[in-house]
Chain A
Amino acid sequence: MNPSPVKLPPSRTWRDLPQPIKPRAMSREGRRRRVLAALRVTGLAGLLLAAAWGGMEFFVTLKSNPARLVAPAGGATVRGLVMRTDGVLDTAWTEATLALPPKAGLMALDLAVLQRRLLASGQVGTAELTRRLPDRLAVTLHERIPVARVLAQAGDGEPRPLLVARDGVVFAGMGYAPETVARLPFLDGVRLKAVGSGFVPIEGMTAVAGLLDAAQSGVPELVRGFRVISLARFEADGVITVQSDDVGEVVFGVREEFARQFSRLDFALAATRRQLPVAPLRINLAIGGGQVLVARLVAEPQVERPALPRPADRAVVGTVKPLSAPGLSVNFPHAL
């Protein structure tokens, strides 16, 4: 067995000196640091006490009334909305759409349900809802931009105008100025299919939106005259027909860039107006091969027309029937 260690009285070392010092011997900075240290200790002790109290409360509640622990905390009553949008919808519409119950607690709101209510309108593309403590609900909307109108008729009821967005979504359109809506062309040749409280998105609207964008940048003076855009032959022939106040009727093909088609349209109009300054025309840009068919839409006897200047890369095209005079053939052999 090992012997026990030798026990000798230890010498005093500097570590035996007491380090605490009276405040009066401290400098001002030292006293300040001492107070801060005391505050830190007090704060820490307070935090620990609060944590202990919270733990005790939790334990007591768990024992006496566990249901309280699983019930959601309602939080403060919602006192208003903080709304931001990039469109025309206002706070009143948002409040009406959300339909918050009176004295609803902020923490009790089901944000997913509220978001679905906003998105159901169709006009709202995306909606973000966040709780802004203590008592505000923040709503941020990104709205769809309408590019066309469409008339929807349910049964024998009155047809009602709806708006169509670039992605084909059909919505009622709230908050738009009447003149803004009046500038939009009507959509024709589409069949609306109801689903739920709305409609299935219209196919081909991406092409229509591309057409309108190209027109806006290429021939903005013509866009204002667009009245009806027909998608009747979109699926079968891949063409979009536009009825315009200024031109008459223009047929666009979706397989060729719209910008090039508008260039040809512009050239054809300039060339044709010299011969037929006021007559409405039917211009077909969807023939392909760089050909353009131009025909008059008014009924008149067939006469020989002087040949228009004909670029070397354009071909003569055939006969068409004008929309305004069904059955009447107009022979216009001069193509551009």
Chain B
Amino acid sequence: MLSRTKFIGAVEIGTSRITVIIGQIARGRSLSLIGLGECPSRGVSKGTVVDFKAATECVHAALEEAERSAGARVGEVFLAQSGAHLEGFQNEAEVRVSAADNMVSTLDIENVCGLAKSKQLPEGRMVVHHLRRPFRLDGRLVPDPEHLDGRRLEVGYWTVHGQESRIADHLHVIRGFNVRVTELILSSLASGSVMTSTDDRRHGVLVLDLGAGTTDYVLYRDGCALLTGVVPVGGLHFSNDLSLGLRLNDQDQAEKLKLRYGRAVVTTKDRTEKVWLHGDLSIGDRQFPRLTIEQITAARARELFEVVRKKLGGNFDPEYTAAGVVLTGGGSKLAGIEEVAAQVFDVPARFGEPPGWVGDHLRAPGHSTALGLLHYGLGASPESLLAHRPATVGRLLRNFFTAGN
């Protein structure tokens, strides 16, 4: 008899940190978070694996730690995918309803979905997600057009694709632990699913996951993901800017200054105010103008949001983004960042709050992607309406007889 309890891992291979969360799924419905493993990242740059051995060691260490804390072994994982190699495009299709009585059938839906997903990719690229948008039946939005009356059925897909070799590298890092990857999920989709409510997504919301090496974003409208993207700029770039601007040789010192004094908006008025690097009067301790630190981090934050806004282009409309901007990820801890986001995107901005069932030790914004992996992976994926239709005898027979055509 098969066990009704299943253990699934959620793995985020981040630029600064590897995070693994283990979830226990009972009877395919209830999810309990029972294990957490973290490890400082090595061999990963801007969300992609650049040193297989180093990355493997870190990921496996985090997996082992998570399994120890959970007291269970996982056989399969949901893996987050990020990186600048990920791109997306929109493809739409339209079919005429085939039935004489104009009632939309399953076949019509299959046809329009197949057409919308049929665009060929360049060599070396492969699909990560087909994100379906709502159907339109004679111009009106419908979540499920089956059995509705209409003449013209339209649907659009946002197809996310990535470089085959980089995706394979991620899979191989996990496979080196002898566990199977059952879902590959965009980091932004994972964060967005857990940090926003259904109402947020229906009203329109932009989710920004500010990581160390990349900033992932997803724009929701009408309850579906309209588009996604990755900007290869993250928290480490803030530190890098500080190290250049303040002429610091050590990146760790810049990181420390960013965490302590960095702000996304300039609030310091006094040009002469100085802050100590360490503050303990030790050898090598230096002073830096606070205003300069704030100016550097604020400029980078504004620039980052402007880049995102530019990449969103005409798809982003404050009128259709009533739920505003939701910020998450470790980079969102920069003071005043929500203020800048609100200014740049011209909509209210707030920090993402995980659902109430998430324990206190997992509520940090840095865990949002791993949490979202379990949430998104186990919930109903909106990208395929057909994937959740039970196979009927009629459909099986039809597929059997049409397979040879």
Residues of A within 8 A of B (CB): 2-14, 16-17, 19-21, 25-27, 29-31, 33-34, 37
Contact = CB atoms under 8 A, between A and B. Distances in A.
B344 interface: no
B178 A30 contact: yes
A263 to B, nearest CB: 67
Given A11-B120, A12-B126, A14-B128, A3 B107 contact: yes
Interface string B43-59: 00000000010001100
23 contacts: A5-B402, A6-B115, A7-B405, A8-B118, A10-B117, A10-B118, A12-B125, A12-B127, A13-B126, A13-B127, A14-B127, A14-B162, A17-B168, A19-B171, A25-B52, A26-B178, A27-B57, A27-B176, A29-B60, A29-B64, A30-B176, A30-B177, A33-B177
Contact of A5 (B114, B125, B175): B114
A37 B167 contact: no
A19 B164 contact: no
Contacts of B60: 27, 29-30
Interface string B358-377: 00000000000000000000
Contacts of B117: 10-11
B98 A2 contact: yes
Interface string B79-114: 000000000000000000011000001010011001
Chain B: number of interface residues, binned into ranges: 35 or more
Contacts of A13: 126-128
Given A2-B107, A16-B126, A26 B177 contact: yes
A169 B67 CA distance: 65
B184 interface: yes
B396 interface: no
A6 B114 contact: yes
A300 B178 CA distance: 109
Contact of A21 (B99, B118, B176, B402): B176
B176 A14 contact: no
Contacts of A31: 178
Contacts of B171: 14, 17, 19
A11 B127 contact: yes
A4 B176 contact: no
A27 B107 contact: no
Q: Which of B105, B114, B171, B175 has the most CB of A within 10 A?
A: B175
Contact of B178 (A6, A9, A11, A33): A33
Q: Which of B57, B115, B118, B405 has the most CB of A within 10 A?
A: B118
Q: Which 3 residue pairs are nearest across A and B when measured between Cβ atoms?
A: A8-B118, A33-B178, A21-B175
Given A5-B402, A6-B118, 17 more contacts: A2-B99, A2-B105, A4-B402, A11-B118, A11-B121, A12-B121, A12-B125, A13-B128, A14-B162, A14-B171, A14-B184, A17-B171, A25-B52, A26-B175, A27-B60, A27-B176, A29-B64
Contacts of A20: 175
A10 B118 CA distance: 6
B126 A11 contact: yes
B6 interface: no
Q: Which of B57, B105, B121, B127 has the most CB of A within 10 A?
A: B127
A6 B111 contact: yes
B181 A5 contact: no
Given A8-B114, A13-B126, A14-B171, A19 B107 contact: no
A237 B203 CA distance: 101
A2 B128 CA distance: 32
Nearest to B161: A11
B115 to A, nearest CB: 6
A29 B180 contact: no
Interface in B116-149: 117-121, 125-128
A190 B52 CA distance: 98
Nearest to B117: A11
